[in-house]
Structure 1
């Protein structure tokens, strides 16, 4: 039980709880300021849990599973909610979901052949971090007017497009790892 209730894992559990909270604040109560705060905290805590796990010597298999799960849920929930409300265009959502679909197929094939998921690549972590940073900035742009809107809109889209590019670059790196594993298995 000591390896479950670590500080980094508790942060990851809190991040997971933040997903439905964000959806409620954004879609139901339309409390956009609080939704921005939840997204910002969820995005920055992504880095904090991993840092603390390494710093405190509390790296665990559960933490290795919770962290990417929280990332994926934040991204998926934010994408769908933002697309429904018109914060993001459909093409952006489709571009991110297509990458996830491709990697899901490779993961299923790897599992069926007795392999685990490929190791997380720093390019993917960087892309995820940038996307999780871009989302609250885009929401801020959507919910404001004037100079704050203009600055948030420009910086939010710069971050979102940069994050999308890194997300796809990481996807190609994962596909290379997948191809290598499958080639070695068939050799």
Structure 2
């Protein structure tokens, strides 16, 4: 029988470090510089292959973590960190090559800076990072679908005619969802701060 410490759920994540889901998340982090080098050197098909491997491992580590009850505190940090670094590396690489405009980089990075700014208030409340919401996951999946399609459109021909509009549809929809999830996250942090302030006020009466 597994000990209580070995079982991790979304509500009560485990403190374990050495799990297969965590290893898959770490693999995605290691693939970020590989992907960045490929996209900047113009090896687009290899870059798309790395993105595909990253997307598959992202799906697999989440599924295994839930199925095997191996949701961990480390995994809750590694998983979104890998997603955001892949998004950032893809955006910067594609912007440098003029495949996407720099305003898109600013909009998406601005959302991530909002999330970073919410870290200190959460720490003061004694909270770690809040779990990624289903809305945030949908936004991330949309963006991770968008970028390979936009990258694929750079090869030209009939493939580009299909990949480009699909890629931009995913990109715009994903960006909107990304900000929506971020604003909901900020609203949740504000609610926690108000609740703490109300508790403190009642205690001092």
- Bin the TM-score by the shorter chain: over 0.9
1:18 matches 2:22: no
When Rg is computed on C-alpha atoms for both structures, the one with the higher figure is 2
Residue 45 (structure 1) shift: 2.1
Residue 44 (structure 1) shift: 3.1
Deviation readout 1:7-35 (Å, 9 max, x if unpaired)? 2112111111110110111113x211100
Residue 186 (structure 1) shift: 1.0
Q: Distance in 2 between matches of 1:134 and 1:163?
A: 8
TM-score (norm 2): 0.84
Between 1 and 2, higher relative CO (CA 8 Å, sep ≥ 6) is seen in 1
Structure 2 residue matching 1:9: 3-state secondary structure: helix
Q: Give 1:83-162 correspondences, 5 Å limit.
A: 83-142=95-154, 144-162=155-173
Unmatched segments (≥5 aa) in structure 1: none
How has the CA–CA distance of structure 1 residues 58 and 119 changed in structure 2, closer, same or farther, with 3 Å as cutoff? closer
Deviation readout 1:66-90 (Å, 9 max, x if unpaired)? 1011111111111111111111101
Unmatched segments (≥5 aa) in structure 2: 1-5, 7-15, 199-205
Q: Distance in 1 between matches of 2:195 and 2:18?
A: 38
CA contact (8 A) 2:139 2:177 kept: yes
4+ residue stretches of structure 1 with deviation over 4 A?
none
Q: Distance in 2 between matches of 1:67 and 1:52?
A: 13
Q: Distance in 1 between matches of 2:197 and 2:24?
A: 41
1:51 matches 2:44: no
Q: Distance in 2 between matches of 1:48 and 1:158?
A: 25
Q: Distance in 1 between matches of 2:83 and 2:73?
A: 16
How has the CA–CA distance of structure 1 residues 163 and 100 changed in structure 2, closer, same or farther, with 3 Å as cutoff? same
Q: Distance in 2 between matches of 1:79 and 1:148?
A: 21
CA contact (8 A) 1:44 1:133 kept: no
